[in-house]
Amino acid sequence: MISTLLLNFVAESLVSLMVQGPLQERSHIYPQSDAIPASARLPLLDGTRLHAGFLLALFLAVVLWFVFSRTLWGFRLRAVGVGPRAAEVSGGVDSQKMGAVALFLSAAMAGLAGGVEVSGVSHALFQNLSPGYGFTGIAVALLGGLHPIGVVFAGILFGALEAGAGAMQREAGVPAVAVYVVEAVIIIVALLATAPKGGWSGVRIIRRTRPAANRAAG
């Protein structure tokens, strides 16, 4: 997680390089690409401000739920996530290969999300396109319990908070940054609710028993 978080800065710098070089708009004034044609833009859903990317996200969530809960490959991936060493010893799973495949698939879906953002919202690629979606995604995943369907509801909640931040500041005079405080409180409460039974004493028990379990597995 730390490695991929740090690589976000590399990706942002690469995007900045591209929009100031090969992908810069025709007049070469603004650090952004030309607007994509209307035929390449995602259509809006009737009667809403949502575009078709929302339906795509729901579809992918259902697909991931099916893969994780109904396929052998998904079971092996979850096993590697819970305990790579145990998955190798008990199930003969190549944890490094599974981790690499999961990393590439995650990157592909992240790239798809960026494409949806460009084709559905901004209609052009420019510097600072993402105001921190990667970090928000981690919070959404934690709040959703690392479950594809739970992530959908957590994403809708965070999206509503982010969308309402500007209106809250304009109409009620409440600083938009207050939304981040609310999000932090939600995350802390969710983490406390899923903490090991027994609180810190439970954590200490896990720390004491983990070395013995590792020696038994090894």
- Distance (Å, rounded) from C-alpha 174 to C-alpha 76? 47
- Which residue type, as a one-letter code, is found at position 58? L
CA pair distance 182, 59, nearest whole angstrom: 29
| Token couple for 96 | 């490094």
DSSP-assigned letter for residue 147: -
Mean pLDDT of 117-122: 89
* Range of weakest confidence among 64-68, 88-92, 137-141, 191-195: 191-195
Residue-level pLDDT at 71: 93
Is the torsion defined by CA of 159, 160, 161, 167 positive or negative?
positive
Section 13-19 average pLDDT: 89
pTM: 0.76
